[in-house]
Amino acid sequence: MRSVSIHCTSCGKAHKLDEAIFRCDLCNEPLEIEEISNGRINKGNILTQTIWERYEDFYPFLDKNNRFTLGEGFTPLIEMKDLAYSIGISGLYMKNETQNPTWSFKDRGTAVGIMDAKRLGYKRIGTVSTGNMATSVAAYGAAAGMETFVFVSKDISEEKINPIAMYNPHLIKVEGNYGELYFESLKIGKENNIYFINSDVPMRVEGSKTIAYEICEQLNFQMPDYVIVPTSAGGNIRGIEKGFREFKSCGLIDNVPKIICAQSLGCSPIYNAYYNNSDAITRVEKPHTIAHAIENPYPPSGNQVLRLLKNNGGIATAVTDEEILKAQALMAKEGILGQPASSVPLAAIIKLKEEGFLKGNEKVVCIVTGSGLKYTASFAMHQLYSAECELNELSDYIKENY
């Protein structure tokens, strides 16, 4: 365990990693751990190795004696040749994060959060979420034997609360301004010795780095032109960009792909600021999108994502619910069933190609963040087909109709 520096992404102020810290005590912007520039991949048998062992060099701040895993990561990267051809780009890949222990990318950051909480001696963890992150933290907290607090909004639906409750956390429906809860939870955590693994805390960013590492390995270190990330709080896109940056610093790849921040037009605070050439996001007053998993009206890493895009040369874009549903259906017809938020990158590619931003010779990676089974209500928004037939007429029916 080596001490590394952590600094504010905005003002640069250095902080100490020897306590649970999440945001700059000066400007309240998110913190980031220093870039690792001397790491190597531990090339072992993945069947007996965790992602934390394989990429151990990139986590000098984690205690080897406090490793924890439920088998997150090492998810497939699937090439979609037909879809690339029909859209008119040279390569399209889907990083299928639905194949994680709780069926979303959140498990990577949750694992790092748990390990950091254990390192610091915490016995309690928590999170503020009604979706992927809530189930992930509830599952990992339970498995790690931590007392686990999950704050959800009071009007959460049965479909959403039940899978969280199955893992048996302290599940609290909070009445009041749910938008304030992110910042409130950090205070509550301090007062009650609860380590809050919220959406964009430094350790979540560190967890998401592994998505980039794996993509590098899976593409044999030949970088795509773009990586498109559905973006809500901003933790995942920050981690993915940092992962590529670190592999470049370590000489493992030659260049960092351009990052595209993809949002839903029904809630696109980062895209709005990007579009208006602003350095700071403003709160979306009435968010409304089918892509619930990225419906964050005031993303706590929003400003940092804007800075990240500027440094990286990436862009922000946003798509309509209609485009999202169309993309969800297209992906399913290629065998990958993502939740609506996970279809935003494909919708963005189609739009960016139509607008001429993508010329046609690009290779693009989409991050498929969570399983379609997470939000089954979206299925009913599609035109779904089935036929009916009597058993004894079935063979003839097929001959006649197909």
Question: Given the structure tokens 């992906």, which residue do they identify?
Answer: 331
Q: Quote the longest CA-to-CA distance of the chain.
A: 75
244: its two tokens: 């590529």
Size of the site for a copy of itself (CB under 8 A): 92
DSSP codes joined into one string, 285-324: SS---S-GGG--SS-TTHHHHHHHHHHHT-EEEEE-HHHH
Contact between 329 and a copy of itself by CB under 8 A: the answer reads yes
Query: For a copy of itself, which stretch binds (CB under 8 A), given 64-72, 222-230, 285-293, 344-352?
Result: 64-72
Q: Residue 143, CB half-sphere, CA atoms under 13 Å: how many?
A: 18
Query: For a copy of itself, which stretch binds (CB under 8 A), given 3-11, 149-157, 274-282, 343-351?
Result: 149-157
Edge-first strand listing for the sheet containing 147-153: 147-153, 124-128, 195-196
Angle made by CA atoms 245, 32, 256, in degrees to the nearest 5: 10
Residue 206 DSSP label = H
The CB-of-358 to a copy of itself minimum distance in angstroms stands at: 23
| Near a copy of itself in 30-59, by CB under 8 A | 43, 45-48
Give phi and psi for 306, each to the nearest 5.
Answer: -60, -45
The CB-of-179 to a copy of itself minimum distance in angstroms stands at: 10
| Near a copy of itself in 244-283, by CB under 8 A | none
Q: Which of 9, 98, 210, 301 binds a copy of itself (CB under 8 A)?
A: 98
| Near a copy of itself in 164-223, by CB under 8 A | 165-168, 170-177, 180-181, 184, 187-188, 191-192, 194, 214, 217-218, 220
The CB-of-380 to a copy of itself minimum distance in angstroms stands at: 7
Contact between 61 and a copy of itself by CB under 8 A: the answer reads no
Nearer to a copy of itself, 285 or 380 (CB): 380
CB 368 within 8 A of CB 327: no
Q: Which of 203, 294, 337, 341 binds a copy of itself (CB under 8 A)?
A: 337
Q: Which of 149, 226, 244, 274 binds a copy of itself (CB under 8 A)?
A: 149
Of the candidates 153, 118, 151, 156, the one whose C-alpha atom is nearest the C-alpha of residue 137 is: 151
Over its C-alpha atoms, the chain yields an Rg (Å, rounded) of 21
Strands 195-196 and 124-128, bridge-based pairing: parallel
Contact between 71 and a copy of itself by CB under 8 A: the answer reads yes
Residue 371 DSSP label = B
Nearer to a copy of itself, 12 or 145 (CB): 145
| Near a copy of itself in 363-402, by CB under 8 A | 371-374, 376, 379-380, 382, 384-392, 394-395, 397-399, 402
Q: Which of 21, 34, 57, 76 binds a copy of itself (CB under 8 A)?
A: 76
Question: Given the structure tokens 């599609």, which residue do they identify?
Answer: 382
Strands 195-196 and 31-33, bridge-based pairing: unpaired
Strands 147-153 and 124-128, bridge-based pairing: parallel
Question: Given the structure tokens 């060099």, which residue do they identify?
Answer: 57
The CB-of-374 to a copy of itself minimum distance in angstroms stands at: 7
Angle between helix 321-332 and helix 344-354 axes, rounded to 10 deg: 110
Q: Which of 86, 162, 282, 361 binds a copy of itself (CB under 8 A)?
A: 162
Nearer to a copy of itself, 234 or 340 (CB): 340
Q: Which of 67, 332, 353, 357 binds a copy of itself (CB under 8 A)?
A: 332
The CB-of-68 to a copy of itself minimum distance in angstroms stands at: 10
Distance, in Å, from the CA atom of 213 to the CA atom of 337, rounded to the nearest integer, reads 24
CB 246 within 8 A of CB 278: no
Q: Which of 57, 67, 74, 297 binds a copy of itself (CB under 8 A)?
A: 74
232: its two tokens: 């809500």
Query: For a copy of itself, which stretch binds (CB under 8 A), given 99-107, 251-259, 273-281, 357-365?
Result: 99-107
Nearer to a copy of itself, 16 or 399 (CB): 399
